[in-house]
């Protein structure tokens, strides 16, 4: 890409001004056409995603209802194999419902992002995320420590979702240990860098990239519930804010998830040139 830019720059420098302007106009039209096509494809994919997920809800709700009725009415009245088969059907229907709900949540991220980001107090955002997880945190006896949180330009509802997913995962994948989580924030190179550090099971090096891809997970789905979509949603939200998200982990000893939120106009005493 950089070589092409150098070639184009040299080509433009050698052209008469009128030809250079025509060349730039032609390249700009190509770029705009490609962008329009990309936007159209993205909209069509989102529409398909939403319609497919929505249309699956009703028949699946019927399957789930009747399998649950079978389990309630006939469990113990047939042989052990029949009980197992009914249990598998109930569990499969429940997992499919969770999957569809998560697909819908993922497809709605774009629609829920505010057109304009507003000054958002991350102290309040973090408290909201923890309040949403209150029962989980209490049942697991989780210990959470937090650094001082800044004010950033963000969509507060979406930022709550990011913290809630990261903290919820830290609790879920703690293994046999008592979950210990530290939430940090540091201003660095024109952006706020947030971190969620845990003492959990960790992630193998070869699996660290795939965890941000929808439906892929680094953990045993037989042991842990979920469809591997929470981190994909986090990635989408963070990238909508112009940031990045990644993980550093030592398998068996824990993980630290990082995400960044760029500083736009002056917020909480910081500006772009700091």
Q: Write out 212-274 in H/E/C secondary structure.
A: HCCCCCCCCCCCCCCCCCHHHHHHHHHHHCCCCEEEEEECCCEEEEEEEEECCCCECCECCCC
Q: Are the CB atoms for 143 and 178 separated by under 8 Å?
A: yes
User: What gap in Å lies between CA 118 and CA 159, rounded to an integer?
Assistant: 12
3-state secondary structure of 190: coil
Average pLDDT for the chain: 79
Encode 209-239: b = buried (16+ Cβ within 10 Å), e = exposed.
eebbebeebbbeeeeeebbbbbbbbbbbbbe
Question: What are the boundaries of each domain within the chain?
Answer: 1-112, 118-262
pLDDT value of residue 272? 41
How high is the pLDDT of residue 62?
Answer: 83
Instruction: Say if CB 12 and CB 23 are below 8 A apart.
Output: yes
> Quick one: pLDDT band at residue 26, thresholds 50, 70, 90?
confident
pLDDT value of position 45: 67
HSE-CB of 106 using CA atoms within 13 angstroms? 25
Same fold, 1-112 and 118-262: no
- CATH of the domain spanning 118-262: 3.30.565.10
pLDDT for res 123: 95
pTM for this structure? Answer: 0.65
Alpha-carbon distance 107 to 42, whole Å? 11
Per-residue pLDDT of 39-73, as tens digits, reads 777 677 667 666 666 677 777 778 888 888 888 88
Task: Give buried/exposed letters for 122-161 (b at 16+ CB in 10 A, else e).
Answer: beebbebbbebbeebbeebebebeeeebbbbbbbbebbbb
Q: Which distant-in-sequence residues (6+ apart) come within 8 Å of 199 by Cβ? A: 174, 177, 179, 180, 181, 253, 254
The whole-number pLDDT of residue 110 equals: 63
Rounded distance between C-alpha atoms, residue 182 and residue 155, angstroms: 23
For residue 189, the tally of other CB atoms under 10 A from its CB is: 9
Q: Which residues have C-beta within 8 Å of that of residue 254, sequence separation ≥ 6?
A: 197, 198, 199, 200, 201, 202
Q: What is the pLDDT of residue 54?
A: 67
1-112 folds as Helix Hairpins (1.10.287)
Q: Give me the mean pLDDT over the 17-31 stretch.
A: 72
């Amino acid at each position: 890409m950089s070589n092409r830019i150098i070639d184009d720059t040299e080509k433009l420098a050698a052209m008469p001004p009128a030809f250079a302007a025509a060349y730039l106009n032609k390249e700009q039209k190509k770029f705009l056409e490609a962008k329009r096509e990309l936007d159209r494809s993205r909209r069509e994919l989102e529409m398909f995603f939403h319609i497919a997920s929505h249309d699956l809800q009703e028949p699946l709700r019927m399957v789930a209802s009747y399998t649950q009725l079978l389990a309630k009415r006939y469990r113990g009245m047939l042989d052990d194999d029949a009980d197992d088969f009914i249990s598998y059907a109930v569990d499969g229907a429940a997992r499919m419902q969770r999957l569809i709900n998560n697909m819908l949540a993922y497809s709605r991220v774009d629609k829920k992002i505010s057109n304009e980001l507003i000054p958002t107090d991350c102290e309040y955002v973090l408290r909201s995320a923890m309040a949403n997880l209150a029962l989980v945190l209490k049942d697991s006896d989780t210990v959470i420590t937090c650094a001082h949180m800044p004010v950033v330009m963000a969509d507060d509802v979406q930022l709550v979702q990011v913290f809630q997913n990261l903290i919820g995962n830290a609790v879920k994948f703690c293994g046999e240990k008592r979950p210990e989580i530290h939430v940090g924030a540091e201003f660095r190179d024109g952006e706020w860098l947030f971190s969620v550090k845990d003492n959990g099971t960790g992630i193998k090096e070869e699996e660290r990239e795939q965890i941000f891809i929808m439906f892929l997970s680094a953990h045993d789905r037989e042991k842990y519930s979920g469809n591997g979509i929470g981190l994909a949603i986090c990635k989408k939200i963070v990238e909508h804010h112009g940031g990045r998200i990644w993980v550093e982990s030592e398998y068996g000893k824990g993980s630290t998830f990082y995400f960044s939120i760029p500083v736009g106009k002056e917020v909480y005493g910081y500006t772009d040139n700091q």
